[in-house]
Amino acid sequence: MEKKQNLISERLLDYGVEIIKVISDLNKTMIGRNIAKQLLRSSTSAGANYEETCGAESKADFIHKLHIVFKELLESLYWLRLIQKSKILKNKNIDNLIIENNQLINMVARSVITAKSKT
């Protein structure tokens, strides 16, 4: 289990780094700044909340924290798709970041299902 936690933790960290790179390339308009702020909060929150799951006080706490990670990743996916669809990010393709986001969502969802089945 610890190896799987480390894998997800590292992927969330790398994902956060890539998000920071995308955000630094967004337009400095009011719209760009607002989307950047929302995306930064939700995407980095996913990683930070996942780290909290590693120190969960109970199975219920672990599941609750995983749900938060799941929800933050879903929100991040929304902002990434909005950026992609609105084409406000010039000269940068974020398809791979969206794919990674979806893979992380699936990993966390499977972890929630597994944890719930063991209660």
Q: Give the model confidence (pLDDT) of 53-68 as tens digits.
A: 989 999 999 999 999 9
Euclidean distance between CA atoms 13 and 19, whole angstroms: 10
What domain range includes position 105? 2-117
| Residue 15 and residue 101 in contact, taking contact as beta carbons nearer than 8 Å | yes
CATH number of the domain encompassing residue 17: 1.20.1440.60
Q: What's the whole-number mean pLDDT along residues 19-29?
A: 93
pLDDT the model gives residue 10: 96
The pTM of this model reads 0.91
Number of domains in the chain: 1
Euclidean distance between CA atoms 43 and 48, whole angstroms: 9
Chain centroid offset of residue 64 CA: 16
Per-chain mean pLDDT for the chain: 93
Euclidean distance between CA atoms 108 and 1, whole angstroms: 13
- The tally of CA atoms less than 13 A away on the side-chain side of residue 50 is 31
The residue length of the chain stands at 119
Query: Residue 38: is its pLDDT beyond 90?
Result: yes
